[in-house]
A = this chain, B = another copy of it.
Amino acid sequence: MDLTESSPAQRTGLLNAIADELTAAADELVPQAMAETGLAEARLRGELKRTVVQLRLFADVCAEGEFLDVRIDEADPGFVLGPRPDLRRFNLPVGPVLVFAASNFPFAFSVAGGDTASALAAGCPVILKAHPGHPRLSALTAEKVRGALLRAGLPAETFEVVFDQEDGVRLLRDDRIAAAAFTGSFEIGRMLAGIAAGRERPIPFYGELGSVNPVVVTPAALAERADEVASGFVAGVSGSAGQLCTKPGFLFLPDGHGLARTLGSAADAVPGHPLLHEGIAAAYTERRAAVLAAPGVAVLAEGAVEAAPDGWCRATPTLVEVGLDDLLKQRSALLDEAFGPLSIVVRYDPDRPDLLMDAIGRLFPGALTATVHSAAGENNEWLRRLVALLRERVGRLLFNGWPTGVAVTPAMQHGGPYPATTAPATTSVGTAAIQRFLRPVTFQNCPPELLPPALRDDNPWRVPQRRSAAGASVNWGNPVS
């Protein structure tokens, strides 16, 4: 059997088999991940669990069959535009997918992560470019995936891993690759997107390029729960050393917020946490220095980045504060994502919401998330305008929480306008992610014996089929005589 031709039930079997293999290998995988990433055991066990749940969720998506979007228009001799043929449309796998793994989620966005799960669920063979930050873990995980392929009766070539950067770029140019998915930095993502668009036959490139995730706190919310906001913010900035694409990068607080000392001491109390690899340590050191050197910037918690004798470079949180005016003036120094435990508090004048809106509109054209902290029951023109402004700029708009947790569910959208992603109409987390690896095709007047199973009237795969019956078709008389 071949994955492209496999039934949804066979794909369910494959995805559950991968989940089983990973579950059984947890005590082998987690220590390897700790050794290569410096992330904490609890965080990694949680991430592996999420990865397993993700695979089982896509197994369920396959079992339901809704993703095939089967539409059957019965032949209709009386259709308003003249006889309509029998039309049957469904989603095919787009073809072999190239996935670029991320460094900061060595399970959930790596070898057996979300992109792999959704591509396999769609019926696409996967070639995964491993991240150099965790090569041994990648090889070990790939072994488990291959074990599952064998158990599911699929050829080993259904899933392959390459380790070399040059191989990744060469494959992105290969005519046999039909789509690519990437999670990583803006610079690399934009470069790869250019290669995908410049091929002789361009292909879709689904890049998640990171985000600065602004958070706006209203004066009423601050009056209601200043301490909760402060502690939640510091936890969000410092968790996993801030190496998350959903880290809150900007916190907008009203003038005279009085939280400077609370934030500073909460951040100072956070112990050092290893950075994932040398490249990230170098880039973070540089970004942090640029932010600290920008005019108008006041330090709330200086933090540090220090190489330790054990080989890890550890960081403690850096929090700074700046006025809205200075943020606009210093945007070139302050606005880029700092991938690490740094965040910027921005003071705004609560009596001039227009200035805040204008700045947000200009500074954040696209982000994975934005967050609003409002008071219970707060509802006014100002707040409604803020919500309307932010929703145009993000994939997910949160209220009274922090963006760092991303639920893996049907209603999740992990995406957003450029520069957060290169494909704002799609998501890389949640069940809707499968749509990135599908392509519709219509069969017209196909003899029943040549129809694919999903389109047959006897529906052997038992997938949902949306039918437009003859006669029941749209008919508004004879609009143009």
Contacts and interface: CB of A to CB of B under 8 A. Distances in A.
A425 interface: yes
Nearest to A436: B425
Given A53-B474, A80-B53, A399-B447, A441 B409 contact: no
A50 B365 contact: no
Given A399-B450, A425-B204, A432-B440, A56 B407 contact: no
A79 interface: yes
Interface residues of A, number: 98
Contact of A409 (B87, B438, B445): B87
A418 B201 CA distance: 6
Contacts of A438: 425
A218 to B, nearest CB: 12
A24 to B, nearest CB: 10
Copies in the complex: 2
A81 interface: yes
Interface string A414-447: 0101110011110100001001101111111111
Interface in A34-60: 45-46, 48-50, 52-53, 56-57, 60
Interface stretch (A88-96, A226-234, A275-283, A286-294): A88-96
A8 B194 CA distance: 37
A72 interface: yes
A408 to B, nearest CB: 7
Interface string A451-479: 01000000000000010100001101011
Q: Which 10 residue pairs of A and B lie closest in terms of their CB atoms, listed nearest first? A: A413-B442, A197-B197, A87-B411, A71-B411, A49-B480, A89-B411, A73-B411, A398-B444, A396-B442, A52-B479
Interface of A: 19, 22-23, 26, 45-46, 48-50, 52-53, 56-57, 60, 71-73, 79-82, 84-85, 87-89, 92, 94-95, 193-194, 197-198, 201-204, 365-366, 374, 377-379, 383-384, 387, 391-392, 394-401, 405, 407-413, 415, 417-419, 422-425, 427, 432, 435-436, 438-447, 449-450, 452, 466, 468, 473-474, 476, 478-481
